[in-house]
Amino acid sequence: MKKLLVTLLCVNLMFIGFSSSTSASKKNEVSPANHILVNDNENTPSNMKWIEQTDEFLKYTYTLDGVNYLIEETFHDDNSVTSKVYKEDEITGEYEVVDTLKSSFDESKEVIVQENQEGIISELEVNSEEVETIYNPIDALSVSNSDNFTTQADQDFVYSSTSYGSNKPAQWLVGVIAITISTILKRKVDQWVTRVAGLTYAFWSERVYYKYVTYKKNYGQITQVTRTFRYVYSDSARTNPIANTVHDSSRTGITFVSQRIY
C-alpha cells in the first residue's frame, strides 16, 4: 500500500462520546465511555505527533492533562479498524494498553459496531442527527455557471435538491472518523479518505458536517442519470469545504465521477 500523504504538523485530537442511540450487550448492557477517551475538563490535547502512517496502519501520540497517550490503529478492510489506546506510565515511561476498540461499519443497518476489550458491543448510528432537504439557489446556478459541470453534455443536468446533515463520531480517532467519512462520501477507506479524516481533526470540528447536492438528466419524463455531489465541511455554516466526491447513478449502477480535497 502506498504511504499516506497526511502531512499535518500538529493535529489537535479530542476524545468524546457518540451522541447517537446505543444498544449493547455482553451482551445486554451499555458500556460507559472510557474516561481516557473523554475530555471532561474540555482541555485541548497537545503535542500530537505522527509516528507511522500507511493505508493499513496508523500510529501517533498526544498529551492530555499532562499525561501522554499512544494510539495504534490497524485497518482490516474497507469498513473495519482496531484502535489500541496506550497510556504512559509516569514512573517507568513505558506505554501500557488501557483500551482496545474494534470498529466496523454494518452497511445493512447503517451503524458502526464497536467492541471494547471487555467484549461489550455497542451499535452506534451513522445517520445524521439532522437531515434537511431544501432548494438552494446557489447550488441551482452551478449548472449554468459551470462550477460543477464542465462539458457540454453536463449542461443537460437540472438541479434537483440540496440536503444537509452532520455526524458526531464516537471517539475522535483517525480510523473511526475515516470509516464515518467513507460512509458519507460513499468511498472505501483508503489513503484519500484517511487524509480527509486528518484534515477534519485539524479543523477541530467535533462534528462531521456534510451536504449532498443532486442534479438530474432527464429524457422526457424519465430520469436517465442522477449526479450527486457529496461535500464534507469543517463548520456548521458549511462555508469551509474539506473535500467532496461526485457520483452518477442510473439503471446500470453507480459510477464514480471525481473527487477533490480543498
DSSP state letters, 16-28: ----S-EEEESSS
Residue 44: predicted pLDDT = 62
Averaged pLDDT, 189-209: 81
Give the percent of the chain with pLDDT over 90: 26
Domains parsed from the chain with CATH numbers: 1-125 (2.40.128)
The bridge status of strand 46-53 relative to strand 57-64 is antiparallel
Q: How many residues are present in the chain?
A: 262
Phi, psi at 216, each rounded to 5°: -130, 145
Which of these, 4, 256, 227, 29, lies nearest to 122 by C-alpha position? 29
Q: Does residue 14 register a pLDDT over 50?
A: no
Q: Per-residue pLDDT tens for 42-95?
A: 556 678 788 988 888 989 888 888 999 999 999 987 778 999 999 999 999 999
Bigger pLDDT: 171 vs 104:
104
Instruction: Give the end-to-end CA distance of the chain in Å, rounded to a whole number.
Output: 24
pLDDT score recorded for residue 145: 56
Instruction: Name the residue with higher pLDDT: 84 or 33.
Output: 84
Could you give the CA distance from residue 70 to residue 49 in angstroms, rounded to a whole number?
A: 10
Among 142, 147, 36, 28, residue whose Cα is nearest residue 85:
36
Please list the residues that pair with 102 across neighbouring strands: 82, 115
Q: 229 pLDDT band (50/70/90 cuts)?
A: very high
Answer yes or no: is pLDDT of 201 > 70.
yes
The answer, yes or no, to whether residue 144 has pLDDT greater than 70, is: no
Set of cell numbers at residue 81 = 479498524
Please give the backbone phi and psi of residue 163, each rounded to the nearest 5 degrees, phi first.
-125, 145
Instruction: Please compute the mean of the pLDDT values over residues 227-243 and round it to a whole number.
Output: 92
The grid coordinates listed for 17 are: 462520546
Each residue's pLDDT tens digit, 115-130: 888 888 887 676 555 5
What pLDDT was estimated at residue 4?
Answer: 38
Q: How far apart are CA 167 and CA 202, in angstroms?
A: 17
pLDDT band at 221; cut points 50, 70, 90: confident
Mean pLDDT check: name the lowest of 87-91, 170-174, 190-194, 225-229: 170-174
- Is the pLDDT confidence value at 153 over 70? no
Taking a C-beta distance cutoff of 8 angstroms, is the pair 175, 81 a contact? yes
Q: How much is the average pLDDT of 89-104?
A: 92
**pLDDT-derived band of residue 207, with 50, 70 and 90 as boundaries?**
confident
Q: How far apart are CA 26 and CA 22, in angstroms?
A: 14
> Which residues 6+ apart lie within 8 Å of 247 measured at CB?
186, 227, 228, 230, 254, 255, 256, 257
Average pLDDT of the segment spanning 226-250: 92
More confident residue, 178 or 96: 96
Q: How far apart are CA 103 and CA 79, in angstroms?
A: 8
pLDDT for position 231: 94
User: Tell me, what's the pLDDT at 10?
Assistant: 37
Burial class (CB in 10 A: 0-12, 13-18, 19+), 28: exposed
Q: What is the pLDDT of residue 249?
A: 94
- The pLDDT mean for the chain works out to 76
Cell output for 43: 482541555
Report how far residue 116's alpha carbon sits from residue 139's, in angstroms, rounded to the nearest whole number. 43
In this structure, which amino acid lies at residue 213? V
Backbone CA torsion sign across 196, 197, 202, 206 = positive
Confidence of residue 6 (pLDDT cuts 50, 70, 90): very low
